[in-house]
Chain A
Amino acid sequence: MHVRFSPEQDALRRSVAQVADRLGPQAVGQLDDGERRAKLDAAVAESGWRELRTPAEGGAPWASGVEVAIVAEELARGLADVAFLGPTLAAELRRLTGAPAADDAAETVALTGDLAALGSTVAVDAAGAAVALGVRDGHVVALSVGAELPPVDLTRPSAEVGPDAATLAALDDDAADRWAALALALTCADLVGAMRGAVELSVDYAKERRQYGTAIGSFQAVQHLLADAHVLAEGSRSVALHAAWAVDALAPRDALAAAAVAKAYCARAARTVGETAIQVHGGIGNTWECLAHVFVRRALLATDVLGGEGPNLTRVLAHHGVGDQTGAGDGLR
């Protein structure tokens, strides 16, 4: 047991943080800066981070769920408006099912309308993607990506998918569980990053904003809100790291159970932390120009991908023999 990043993992974390800090949006107004977004996308493309789950020799991925989580967390902390979740999960789906490698078209995944499972209705994290991999009748299919949908998450657009589906490969239960474990672990890391970013933003604001002649961060009422938010982010980080490790280290059903534990915890925590960020910013926090809602919106998408606390509590209980255990009991397929 050694729950610490290796030197290589530390180095990865630092380089992702540098890219996110240098090229991510520093203000809401910068979200529309296409030139900046293109530079960010080019930096991520060059890094190879989107290929972490493509198969190396023997079919194993180039990197473990932990590296995927490191990248996801730091990109979310910096509100990086760049595709990562979608391409990573598409690559994992191809790897797990033995579907042939993608041609040059950028890929993402297609989920059901409520995003709670693999499906063929909505392409998520669809910036730049031409193809979305979804599931129909137990088979992985390739769908074309259509028009963007009105965004919930201002950093990652969703899109319609076309009606025609090309069948690629069959998806068995173990592969589906393994894929869902990675998807949940990745979204947990995304939530942890969003929480850390929201806490940093709010702490900085509480140190600067003055009322009654003093910084509002000197008031215990404000301090305790921020302390609780920090603690929720730390607990989330611990459980999310375990889920990320479990993706490749445990049997598929156990990996999925670990991921469901983490997702239930992180989803609930992220909503509280996001709401705290808005509250600490006061009136400003309720304006479009404040980054607080951008964190909240990013967390809403990450929460909805394979479900938030409700579906994942159900998965956790089913794993412990309580409640609905029909089939895999997880409603992922």
Chain B
Amino acid sequence: MDFGDSPAEAEFRQRFRAWLVDNNPGLPASSTDDDYWAGQAAWHQSLYDAGFFGLSWPTEVGGHGLPSVYDAILDEELAAAGAPPRPGLGYLVHGILEHANDDIKARFLPGLVNGRDRWCQGFSEPDAGSDLASLRTRAERDGDEYVITGHKVWTSYSDDADWCLVLARTDHEVPRHKGISAFAVAMDQPGIEQRPLKMINGITKEFGEVVFDGARVPAANMIGEPGDGWPLAMTVVSHEREPGELGYVARYRKLAKELTAAVKADPTAYDAEQVRQLGWAIVETEMLRHHVSRRLSDRLDGITHGPEGSVDKLLMTWTEQTVGHAALGIGGADHTGDGDDTWLKVYLYSRAQSVMGGTSQIQRNLIARRILGLPA
């Protein structure tokens, strides 16, 4: 058991640390400022071009074929430098890698990995949230194309996206899990209407609605076979639950560091309870960092994850919301109207973590049934 760097890992860490000195874009956090999204594509491309993106993905799609623990090292250095987190696209990459044919992989993965193509995910619908299999968006065959009609919601960053991974029903005669197919749909076409949504902390890029009304997609853009949409969706959401995939540890460590600096700068301004909340933010962030190291190390030995992703999702959620409480206590309570409301935004954004990617209640159901073996 070794939490420390091997010689090769130490060399990588030093190389990335040196690169970051000149290449940290100093973007605001995605969770508090729409300006992040103006600079995110350039940050993604900058990481990719320097050889620091897609570390654990296969080389043939633009990755580096390194063990997953390199992602943890990258995240530690990003946090230490106060740099923005890496774009968390692993769930899309894994979904396509595991379910698409070679043609789809060759056409779409390089652009997704190198950051030149922007993607969003069209899964949830107004009447299909936790119960995703009840989705009603339709894809009907028309010659060499499918015609898509339906309403998607929580399509994060959809107004910046070139492509959308859409789940749509292609067969109404079979059981509902078996009639869903997945498509790569071009976003720049008539028949797609964007409706950005404003989150409770005021940012507008993260949430969106997309209405498909006769949007067209070539049949050759189907990912997998007809009816393969559900297993693909399960692959995507299982990776979407993993903090190692998302790189969120870097975001939490950056926030904890900034909160610590705020308290050190004006120690008498905070009461014992506020300082205590900072202590818990540090403790839980460290816990999550070590938990991610443990999980990513499992993959070195070929262990892939099933329901354990739900454990990771809850630990990630509790950590983010503990950091959110510290942010509220330390910086969120400025009622004078002339202050910076960044910490209030951090707090309000943290409430989404127990909903996005599957609610905490759904994760608990999965843990109870699939890990603890409790009866239905």
State whether these chains interact. yes
Q: Which residues of A are at the interface with B, using a C-beta cutoff of 8 A? A: 1-6, 9, 66, 199, 203, 206-207, 214-215, 217-218, 220, 222-224, 226-228, 230-231, 234-239, 241-242, 245-246, 249, 258, 261-262, 264-265, 313-314, 316-317, 320-323
Contact B283 A316 (CB under 8 A): yes
Asked whether B372 lies within 8 Å of A261 as measured between CB atoms, the reply is no
In the complex, how many angstroms separate the beta carbon of A256 from the nearest chain B beta carbon? 14
Which listed residue (B6, B298, B365) contacts A223, Cβ 8 A? Answer: B365
Cα–Cα distance between A220 and B130 once the two chains are bound (Å) = 16
List A contacts of B288 (CB < 8 A): 235
List of A residues within 8 angstroms of B263 by Cβ: 322
Give the residue of A4, A207, A261, A323 whose beta carbon is less than 8 angstroms from that of B286.
A261
* Contact A246 B3, beta carbon cutoff 8 Å: yes
Are A322 and B365 in contact (CB-based, < 8 A)? Answer: no
19 new A-B contacts, CB < 8 A, other than A230-B371, A265-B283, are: A1-B69, A1-B72, A1-B296, A4-B294, A66-B1, A203-B372, A217-B375, A218-B375, A224-B365, A227-B368, A231-B367, A234-B291, A236-B287, A238-B287, A239-B291, A242-B290, A249-B3, A321-B260, A323-B275
Contact pattern, B 305-319, Cβ under 8 Å of A = 1, otherwise 0: 000000100110010
B279 within 8 A of A: yes
A243 to chain B, nearest CB (A): 9
A interface footprint on B258-297 (CB within 8 Å = 1, 0 otherwise) = 0010011001000000011011101110111011011011
- Interface set of B (CB-CB < 8 Å, partner A): 1-6, 9, 69, 72-73, 260, 263-264, 267, 275-276, 278-280, 282-284, 286-288, 290-291, 293-294, 296-298, 300-301, 311, 314-315, 318, 361, 363-365, 367-369, 371-376
Whether the Cβ atoms of A218 and B376 lie closer than 8 Å is yes
A residues near B311, Cβ cutoff 8 Å: 230-231, 234
Q: Assess A239 versus B260: contact at CB under 8 Å? Given A1-B69, A4-B298.
A: no
Instruction: Tell me if A's interface is mostly helix, strand, loop or mixed.
Output: helix
Contact A235 B374 (CB under 8 A): no
Q: Given A1-B9, A264-B283, A317-B282, verify A226-B3 contact (CB < 8 Å).
A: no
B-side interface mostly: helix
B279 touches A313 (CB 8 A): yes
Say yes or no: A235-B361 contact (C-beta < 8 A), given A4-B1, A313-B279.
no
Do A234 and B315 touch across chains, with their CB atoms under 8 A apart? yes
Q: Which residues of B contact A320 (CB under 8 A)?
A: 260, 282
- Complex contacts, A316 vs chain B, CB 8 Å: 279, 282-283
CB distance from B75 to the nearest CB of A (A): 12
Minimum Cβ distance to chain B for residue A213 (Å)? 12
Give the distance to chain A from B373, nearest Cβ to Cβ, in Å: 7
Most central of A199, A218, A235 by chain B CB within 10 Å:
A235
CA distance A323 to B260 in the complex (A): 11
Report yes or no: B368 in contact with A235, Cβ–Cβ below 8 A: no
A residues less than 8 Å from B260 (CB atoms): 320-322
Interface CB pairs A-B, < 8 A, 9: A206-B374, A223-B364, A227-B365, A239-B286, A261-B283, A264-B283, A265-B283, A313-B279, A322-B264
Question: Which chain A positions have C-beta within 8 A of B9?
Answer: 1
Residues of A within 8 A of B287 (CB): 235-236, 238-239, 261-262, 265
Nearest 10 pairs of A and B residues by beta carbon: A223-B368, A238-B291, A3-B297, A313-B279, A227-B364, A227-B367, A242-B290, A217-B374, A239-B287, A224-B364
How near does chain B come to A264, taking the closest CB pair, in angstroms? 5
Contact status of A241 and B367, CB under 8 A, knowing A4-B300, A218-B376, A261-B287: no
- In the complex, what's the smallest C-beta–C-beta distance from B245 to chain A, in angstroms? 17
Complex contacts, B314 vs chain A, CB 8 Å: 227-228, 231
